[in-house]
Amino acid sequence: MAKRRKTVDVSEVLARVNAFLAREDPYVTADMRKGAYILLEGILHETGNYAGFNNLGWMNGGHDRWVSQGKPDNREPYIGDDTRRHYYTKAEAPARVGKVAAEPGYFYPRAL
């Protein structure tokens, strides 16, 4: 009998949760996304891999709208749903965040 693997690759968990957080279908609620990102943050902190996150609304046009409207103090309207996030590990954190897209049925978000 083959031995069962007892560990999970953190980058695989990160990719799966990021894809889940990017979903826009009605079957994924804000509470479901919040539970997923709380679990992911715990894993990333425990393993020393946490390098922050960015809100998908901010990454996918919110920042550009904020700049075009004179960088008002209140950024909330430009961030969008706070449960829609994209997390990074120390090994994968970009110097400058690009846009992220997730197509229906597309498992891994891809940087644009």
3-state secondary structure of 88: strand
Is 3 inside a domain boundary? no
List, in sequence order, every beta strand (DSSP E) within 1-112: 50-55, 85-89, 100-101, 110-111
Burial class (CB in 10 A: 0-12, 13-18, 19+), 80: middle
Is 2 inside a domain boundary? no
Q: What are the pLDDT digits (tens) for 1-19? A: 667 777 888 999 999 999 9
Is 5 inside a domain boundary? no
Round the CA-based radius of gyration of the chain to a whole number and report it: 16
* CA distance to 35, 41, 42, 46, per residue, from 38 (Å): 5, 5, 6, 12
Is 105 inside a domain boundary? yes
Residue numbers of the domain that contains 44: 10-111
Q: What are the pLDDT digits (tens) for 16-66? A: 999 999 998 899 999 999 999 999 999 999 999 998 898 998 888 888 998
Is 4 inside a domain boundary? no
Is 90 inside a domain boundary? yes
Q: Tell me the pTM.
A: 0.75
Is 96 inside a domain boundary? yes
Domain count, the chain: 1
3-state secondary structure of 79: helix
Is residue 86 within 8 A of residue 37, CB to CB? The reply is no
Is 69 inside a domain boundary? yes
